[in-house]
Amino acid sequence: MKTFFGFIRFCPGLLILLFSSGYATSQPRLTGWPFDTRSVVMARHGMACTSNPLATMAAIGILGRGGTAVDAAIAANAVLGVTDPEMNGIGGDLFAIVYDARTHHLYGLNGSGHSPYGLTLEMLLQKGLKQIPVRGALPVSVPGCVDGWFTLHGRFGKLPMKEVLQPAIQYAREGIPLEDEAAYYWKDLEKKFSTYPNIAAVYLPNGKAPGWGELFRNPQLANTLQKIASEGKEVFYQGEIARRIVSFIQKEGGYLSLKDLEDHHSEWVDPVSTTYRGYRVWELPPNSQGIAVLQMLNLLEGFDFTHIPFGSPEHIHLFVEAKKLAYEDRAKYYADMDFAKVPVRELISKAYADQRRQLISMDTASTNDQAGSDSLLNAGETVYLTVADDSGNMVSLIQSNFQEWGSAMVPDSLGFVLQDRGQLFSLKPGQNNTYAPHKRPFHTIIPAFVTRNDQPFMSFGVMGGGFQPLGQVQVLMNIIDFGMNIQQAGDAPRIDHQGSSEPTGQPRRGGGEIFLEPGFPFTTVRALIQMGHRVGYEPPGNFGGYQCIRVDPVNKIYYGASDPRKDGMAAGF
């Protein structure tokens, strides 16, 4: 990242180029926004939106064979584990929100895994650690994805899992051509991670990374998925696969045990919500960071955006100031609620937002935000997908290894990388998110859902680690405040802010720094700097990836959108 603060006087022409150029460099589209990339996809019987075309078409194929939205979502997720193993796979965790058309009810699933029973905070501190490392065996927590699949399927699935997982098995065995994003991350793998156990054997055929358009096969993963399809989740958590995972991790100095895997189960949870200008936005409660979206929306709802244009200094300033306040609460409170008291109801209340909003100045950047006090109240790399079926069921699903290539731990002969979610624990005693045995770490991945007048309106998500609440709030503001359709809302240039306090215990950095994608006017950048903000340029790839399905319940039409920053697409039938 490069800062522009103090640099602006030397290169004003460069700033004008970076911040005034939009995405559309040829003939503007007819819809009126200069950043439009494509049209909204429309269909009546089903819709799938993922970050890879093969995954999208796998979902459409399952829907076409009579599968439910959940069947299709699992199929798509499994394919993404083949096409984008740097992002996700069966070594990671999963969260989902399901709208069931029969009961007209939203169901939340927390499919995240726990830390090892056999590893304690004292043991970590005795190693001289200030933070759990990103790679290796120590940050590996129980992978929850497979149990999440079977838990979702057991309640909302229809087709047998053998059929649901068959597209992924076939792609893993026959091979997939690497698309832009995967090819980019594979180069990183070769440079940074090739010395980790089994990385080269699985992901670097012939000793080097496959390039763009080259075929990549993963027969080990095909065999693993085949076992799961045939023998169920038990083989992963109690049988042969479990034993191989544990043997490998312990050999590498980790603490994961068979009991850790055997005791794992996903948890059905009630989604929580707030309203934003007549829309009700739903998220999952902690250990995920979803309620940061609700906190930001509550803060922003108190400002009138009817006369504040998109991309104006006022828009960006208010958005960033709301983010700063919400993220201080995120760092202090969000954690596994079996171990910590998280005042969810109070954090997402309108009354709390009314008090906190008083801390926002209309024309000056804050530099020393604090979390709300207990007395006042009485915190990477991912794939997101959404699917809707002909019966009106909708799924919002997100799944991840956390960091790029996760822990870089690839168990012998299994063909997938294990996540490094444990890295998100704090090692500072006494905090909500402090490490403890058999505890779920703070989680960044968050699926979202929107209803209006008690009817489903939109299933969506924005992948991208700690950026996800920022991305979701921007999409919602783009639709609700600025009148964009769901594709334009994802195409629009994005705002990131970094420097807030983190759930790992890392402190804030003096007001932080705003990072803007190209497309914002130079006058906005200048005005933000005059307000006291630091403004910088962040390389592409750090602004998340969005997928969305909106439903018209009257005409029974699905609208699909997919982020041009990713390789995927929306498709329907």
Show which residues are catalytic. 382
211: buried, middle or exposed (CB in 10 Å: 19+, 13-18, 0-12)? exposed
Structure tokens at 36: 């439009």
Angle at 135 between CA 133 and CA 140, to 5 degrees: 85
Q: Which amino acid is at 138?
A: L
Q: What is the DSSP code string of 37-105?
A: -SPPEEESS-EEEESSHHHHHHHHHHHHTT--HHHHHHHHHHHHHHH-TTT--TTSEEEEEEEETTTTE
Structure tokens at 243: 């034993």
**Separation of CA 571 from chain center:** 21
| φ/ψ of residue 390, rounded to 5 | -70, -20
Structure tokens at 149: 């699949």
d(CA 156, CA 102): 11
Check: CB of residue 135 under 8 Å from CB of residue 124: no
d(CA 203, CA 542): 24
Q: Which of 223, 507, 236, 185 is nearest to 367 (CA)?
A: 507
Q: Which of 427, 510, 417, 328 is nearest to 86 (CA)?
A: 417
45: buried, middle or exposed (CB in 10 Å: 19+, 13-18, 0-12)? middle
Q: What radius of gyration, in Å, describes the C-alpha atoms of the chain?
A: 22
Torsion-angle region of residue 175: left (phi > 0), alpha (psi -120 to 50) or beta?
left
Check: CB of residue 63 under 8 Å from CB of residue 390: yes
Strand-pair category, 215-216 with 176-177: antiparallel
Per DSSP, the three-state class of 572 is strand
Place of tokens 């998500």: 461
Using CA atoms in the order 397, 133, 467, 46, what is the torsion angle rounded to 10 degrees?
-10
Percent of the chain as helix, strand, coil, to the nearest 5: 35, 20, 45
120: buried, middle or exposed (CB in 10 Å: 19+, 13-18, 0-12)? middle
Structure tokens at 141: 């927590």
d(CA 387, CA 391): 12
